Chain A
Amino acid sequence: AQSVTQPDIHITVSEGASLELRCNYSYGATPYLFWYVQSPGQGLQLLLKYFSGDTLVQGIKGFEAEFKRSQSSFNLRKPSVHWSDAAEYFCAVGADRDDKIIFGKGTRLHILP
């Protein structure tokens, strides 16, 4: 069964600084990988997803993620964060399209002015 780990519960960065949120997955084959964001009091919104092909995936709001099979990782990056990026970020993994996806426990991002 697949699983996903987000090692950082909280991350604090200054506005304008770069960001990297870590995600490690466990699955024998090539997984389906996702990053979702949850703003306070809201549901989750998909930032980007990886199914196959180019290992560098571009998403919405200026985010990107890189799939590294050798490290079983799918880290989320943004070159310059904005105060509005303060939210909770969830990495998720699926075995295939017709199955459920498993979410990590989330990383809460704090932005310093």
Chain B
Amino acid sequence: KAGVTQTPRYLIKTRGQQVTLSCSPISGHRSVSWYQQTPGQGLQFLFEYFSETQRNKGNFPGRFSGRQFSNSRSEMNVSTLELGDSALYLCASSPHQGQGYEKLFFGSGTQLSVL
């Protein structure tokens, strides 16, 4: 079974631009969660989607948005990029709604650099 796939692996953008990151979960998994990882803040929860519905949301500004498609693939979008958005963005999938039910399967992440 293929693991969680995140594309692209690396991304360089400039301030003010927008970016879209993609996540393909493990086949059969219906929950996709997104995290922002930075050296100072660790992993911060962005949002979770289950069956195309946003189930949980973290404390991030509205510039961060996401969606999930009928095949469970998910995208997250960041508009009007700021320098502080530079981070590793991790996606995790799970068969069930909620992240405490069983283990999360993580992708290797997309490293976003904002110049």
The listed residue with most B CB atoms (<10 A of its CB), out of A42, A43, A45, is A43
User: Is A98 within 8 A of B109, CB to CB?
Assistant: no
Tally chain B residues at the interface, Cβ within 8 Å.
27
B100 contacts which of A36, A44, A99, A106 (Cβ < 8 Å)? A99
- With contacts A43-B108, A105-B41, A106-B42 taken as known, whether A97 is within 8 angstroms of B103 at the C-beta atoms is no
Question: What is the number of contacts between chain A and chain B, taking CB atoms within 8 Å?
Answer: 65
- Kindly state whether residue A46 has any CB partner on chain B within 8 Å: yes
User: Is B4 within 8 A of A43, CB to CB?
Assistant: yes
- Kindly state whether residue B45 has any CB partner on chain A within 8 Å: yes
A95 CA / B105 CA spacing, docked (Å): 20
User: Is A43 within 8 A of B100, CB to CB?
Assistant: no
User: Is A98 within 8 A of B98, CB to CB?
Assistant: yes
- Kindly state whether residue B26 has any CB partner on chain A within 8 Å: no
User: Is B99 within 8 A of A100, CB to CB?
Assistant: yes
User: Is B103 within 8 A of A46, CB to CB?
Assistant: yes
User: Is B43 within 8 A of A99, CB to CB?
Assistant: no
Residues of B contacting A: mostly: loop
User: Is A105 within 8 A of B99, CB to CB?
Assistant: no
User: Is B97 within 8 A of A98, CB to CB?
Assistant: yes
- Chain B residues with CB under 8 Å of A101's CB are 45, 99-100
User: Is B97 within 8 A of A43, CB to CB?
Assistant: no
**Residues from 70 to 113 in A contacting B, C-beta threshold 8 Å:** 90, 94-106
- Kindly state whether residue B75 has any CB partner on chain A within 8 Å: no
Query: 16 new A-B pairs (CB below 8 Å) besides A98-B101, A99-B56?
Result: A42-B108, A43-B108, A44-B90, A90-B42, A90-B43, A94-B98, A94-B99, A97-B98, A98-B97, A98-B98, A100-B56, A100-B58, A100-B100, A101-B45, A103-B35, A106-B43
Ranked nearest first, the 9 interchain pairs of A and B with the lowest CB-CB distance are A43-B106, A105-B42, A94-B100, A98-B98, A46-B103, A103-B43, A97-B101, A97-B100, A32-B100
